Each structure stands twice: as C-alpha cells, then as structure tokens.
A and B are shown apart, each in its own frame.
Chain A
Amino acid sequence: GAVVSQHPSWVICKSGTSVKIECRSLDFQATTMFWYRQFPKQSLMLMATSNEGSKATYEQGVEKDKFLINHASLTLSTLTVTSAHPEDSSFYICSASPGPLGSGELFFGEGSRLTVL
C-alpha cells in the first residue's frame, strides 16, 4: 500500500517553544492531507485539512494561529505547534489518500508524540 511518513516520531520540548512535524507521502502525490490529534486511549480528532498551494481548513475549536499548517508541495505537509504548552502534549497523526478524495482508503503516518514540559 501507499506509504505516509511522519517525522519526528517523538519530540520533547520546553514550554513556549515551537515544534514542527512533517508528513510526507513517499510514493504518491497528495493534494490533500489530514491532521489528527489523539489523546491517550481516545479516538482521533480531526484538526485540519491541509490543501496543497492554499490555506488549510481548520475544524471548529482548533486555533489556526496555534497550529500552523503548510502544504508546500504535493508530497509534504507540515504542522507547527507554536508556543507549545503542556496541554498541547498529544499524539499527532497525519493521513493522505492517493486517489481522488472519497475514492478509497486513507493512509496514515506512524504518528508523532509531542511532550511539552
């Protein structure tokens, strides 16, 4: 199946710093990628839809200035958690689909675990 790679897989940072997480589609182009957040033993919450060449679409309640998304190419989307605080500690997962949206399965990265001290 298609491969989506996330980096870093885990990161620990101090409160107030910014952290960038990369999501790459390795063997397909993705005009759209999705960013999810997952708290321990909970489900995935959709944060935003990343659109190549245009602004991301954020879900209600997600601060766009806090979670900056850039989709600069057809294979790379980045999520930057700005001025991170302990409550931002979470598991962040990206996903993408090689076909037209809605046509098939989503492929997920392995996730990035962020711990803010």
Chain B
Amino acid sequence: SQQGEEDPQALSIQEGENATMNCSYKTSINNLQWYRQNSGRGLVHLILIRSNEREKHSGRLRVTLDTSKKSSSLLITASRAADTASYFCATQRRGTYKYIFGTGTRLKVLA
C-alpha cells in the first residue's frame, strides 16, 4: 500500500523561481529518498536523508526531514526548464527493507 502523500500534485512555475514539494508519511522510517522521473523513463535518485538527519543539500536541492511530523520537503532553487519532471519521495519503513513511494508531484518549469 502507498505510504506517502505528496503535495502539491502538480506545480507550475517560471524559470528561476524556487519549487517546493512536500511529502508526508504514516509510520516510522529508516530513511527517506527523493527521486525524479522524466515522462516514460526510469527513476533517478536525488537525495537520501536518514531518520536521524534533519537537512541535506545537493547542488540546487535542499531536503528537510521532520520525523515528529512525519514529513519531508524538497526544495529546488533557481529552477530550470530541464527540471520539468515528476518528483517522488520514497520511504523505507523501519524494520523492513522495502521502499514505498509517495503519490508524486508533477513539476513544470516554464521557460
């Protein structure tokens, strides 16, 4: 069953603006990961954040994790048209090795 809920479901912004996507989950986790998917393609890993971490950065990406609220956010700064894609969070439930994906956010960056 799906564990994660993401919002917004769709987001449309202008190039250069920041994009923020949120992910909420229901149970305790080992870690949470963010992935990107271009239409009809496989998934590309963006960032992994462990349950004892609160924030991680990678280039223009910033991920936060609030385990008390069971939520995470992905911030893409200075967006580019090439960032247009679907973004998914995936959580690994504590005590298991399976990853369950959120509903995803479809981001469109307008040039």
Contact = CB atoms under 8 A, between A and B. Distances in A.
B103 A41 contact: no
Interface string A68-98: 0000000000000000000000010101000
A26 interface: no
Contact of B88 (A6, A44, A46, A95): A44
Interface string A89-117: 00101010000011011111111010000
A25 interface: no
B60 interface: no
Interface residues of B, number: 25
A22 to B, nearest CB: 14
B99 A110 contact: no
Interface in B65-111: 88, 90, 92, 97-104, 106
Interface of A: 1, 4, 6, 32, 34, 36, 41-46, 49, 60, 91, 93, 95, 101-102, 104-111, 113
Interface of B: 1-2, 30-31, 33, 35, 40-45, 48, 88, 90, 92, 97-104, 106
